[in-house]
Amino acid sequence: MKLNLLTLAAAIIILAFYGMHAAHLPWTAWRIAGIAIAAPAFLLFVAARLELGRAFSVRAKATTLVTTGLYSRIRNPIYFFGAIFILGIIIWLGRPWLLLIFVALIPLQVVRSRKEARVLTEKFGAAYLDYKKKTWF
């Protein structure tokens, strides 16, 4: 739980400093659309990270099968909402060339999610396969 809180605190501090700088920028339609996408995606990303708790790891390993909260609908909400957050920030920044990062991110997340699925299938077997049938990505 300590790591969850440290991660959350670091993200909030970084966003707060950046937000102070960004407050002086003009609010265009693109900036409003970007923040409208990024803000809820960030909150859902943080919620997913907190729900995962001690089951979180950088490398694919299976300690606990989390199937509640956001994980009851989406198998990989951290990847999904992280990508949506990045997309919102790219729109907010108004730098379309940064979409190259987003395009590169998607296949990486798919590869990581498949690797995790193999590890979870090995550890939890039929329970994970049943969970997988009921959820998206």
Angular region, 127: left φ>0, alpha ψ -120 to 50, beta rest: alpha
Lowest mean pLDDT among 1-5, 62-66, 131-135: 1-5
Q: What is the reported pLDDT for 64? A: 86
CA 76 to chain centre: 8
- DSSP calls for 67-87: -SGGGGTBS-HHHHHHHHHHH
Residues composing the chain: 137
Average pLDDT, the chain: 87
User: Which of 87, 106, 9, 92 minimizes the C-alpha distance to 49?
Assistant: 9
What's the pLDDT at 27? 87
**pTM for this structure?**
0.81
> What pLDDT digit, counting tens, does each position of 46-90 carry?
899 888 877 666 566 777 889 999 999 999 999 999 999 999 999
pLDDT tens digits, 4-29:
677 777 777 877 877 777 777 888 99
- When pLDDT is averaged across residues 30-53 and rounded to a whole number, the result is 92
Classify residue 39 as exposed, middle or buried by CB count within 10 Å of its CB (0-12, 13-18, 19+).
middle
136, β-bridge pairs: 74
DSSP 8-class letter at 63: S
Separation of alpha carbons 113 and 116, rounded Å: 5
The confidence score (pLDDT) of residue 133 equals 95
pLDDT band at residue 137 under the 50/70/90 scheme = confident
